[in-house]
Chain A
Amino acid sequence: EAGVAQSPRYKIIEKRQSVAFWCNPISGHATLYWYQQILGQGPKLLIQFQNNGVVDDSQLPKDRFSAERLKGVDSTLKIQPAKLEDSAVYLCASSLQNMNTEAFFGQGTRLTVV
């Protein structure tokens, strides 16, 4: 069974530039999550999708972050414009239903904003 795929693995951009991350969840998983993990901290949920609808985006900085999950499968997370404090690993995870079932994580995208 293929796992959660994310790309790119690494990205370095200058502040004020824009960047996009892509995630392909495990086939059949209805729930998709984007997390931000800053070095030395646990993951912080940015947004949760159930199929192609948003369940929770309360911690998403909507002035600069956006995410979509067209057709309820793949998802993209965009940052525009990036700030230095956005440097982190962005993790995508998927689960069959909500978080009461096991979530499978991708390898993440390490973003460095300089």
Chain B
Amino acid sequence: TQLLEQSPQFLSIQEGENLTVYCNSSSVFSSLQWYRQEPGEGPVLLVTVVTGGEVKKLKRLTFQFGDARKDSSLHITAAQPGDTGLYLCAGAMRDSNYQLIWGAGTKLIIKP
């Protein structure tokens, strides 16, 4: 059973479009991280959210942590080919000694 469900699994859109990817769980997390992974590379941390309802912006990327700290979303405005990659969410739970629980990822392709 996947504790963190990411959707969609795959998304291919044209440059300039907006998109949102989701990370959902029935569990409560003390914090949640979003990573981007490019082919042949390890994941790179984009953001960490810790407070329910928190919104963080990173240029064209907007991250939101759900009020109940069970879900999160990543919204990209005016997507560019450089945004192509695998987007992974990972949640930490205090009860599990902050071990990261990983989603399976959303593979995003932005076509020029």
Name A residues whose Cβ lies closer than 8 Å to a Cβ of B.
4, 40-45, 48, 55-56, 91, 93, 98-100, 102-108, 110
Contact = CB atoms under 8 A, between A and B. Distances in A.
The 6 closest A-B pairs by CB, nearest first: A105-B42, A42-B102, A100-B98, A99-B100, A99-B98, A42-B104
Contacts of B45: 102-104
17 contacts: A4-B42, A42-B4, A42-B90, A42-B104, A42-B105, A44-B102, A45-B100, A55-B97, A91-B42, A99-B92, A100-B92, A104-B45, A105-B44, A107-B41, A108-B40, A108-B41, A110-B40
Interface of B: 4, 30-31, 40-45, 48, 88, 90, 92, 97-100, 102-105
Given A45-B99, A98-B98, 6 more contacts: A42-B103, A42-B105, A43-B102, A99-B92, A103-B100, A107-B40
A98 B43 contact: no
A99 B104 contact: no
A100 B31 contact: yes
B84 to A, nearest CB: 16
Nearest to A56: B99
Contacts of B90: 42
Contacts of B48: 102
B97 A56 contact: yes
A2 to B, nearest CB: 14
A91 B100 CA distance: 14
B39 to A, nearest CB: 10
